[in-house]
């Protein structure tokens, strides 16, 4: 049985940047998959709100399946 990859969407603030697997987004945006994983952490999501009230950070959202941090947005 093949490996199932999650599909994600990358946003910067309210602006959609791209979607795909973490590996595809990593190549498109020239960032590591570890960086993309960090964009999904509670620490990153909560702290993006506290800086000057501007939501202009990148955030990665899982499109298929449950993403436990989407309710924080």
pLDDT at 50 over 60: no
- Name the DSSP class of 51: S
pLDDT band of 3, cuts 50, 70, 90: low
Nearest C-alpha neighbor of 54 from the set 13, 16, 21: 13
What are the sequence ranges of the domains in the chain? Answer: 8-66
d(Cα 56, Cα 68) in Å, to the nearest integer?
21
- The residue among 15, 8, 10 whose CA lies nearest residue 55 is 15
Q: Which of 12-16, 25-29, 67-71 has the lowest mean pLDDT?
A: 67-71
Query: Is pTM beyond 0.85 here?
Result: no
Residues 6+ apart with CB under 8 A from 23: 5, 33
Please give the structure tokens belonging to residue 41: 């952490």
Mean pLDDT (the chain) is 80
Q: What is the pLDDT averaged over residues 16-45?
A: 93
Q: Kindly tell me if the per-residue pLDDT of 54 is higher than 50.
A: yes
- Average pLDDT on 30-44 reads 91
């Amino acid at each position: 049985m093949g490996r199932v990859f999650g599909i994600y969407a990358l946003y910067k603030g309210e602006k959609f940047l791209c979607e795909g697997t973490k590996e595809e987004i990593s190549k498109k945006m020239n960032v590591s998959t570890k960086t993309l994983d960090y964009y999904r952490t509670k620490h990153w999501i909560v702290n993006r709100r506290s800086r000057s009230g501007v939501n202009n950070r990148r955030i990665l959202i899982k499109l298929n399946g449950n993403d436990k941090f989407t309710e924080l947005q």
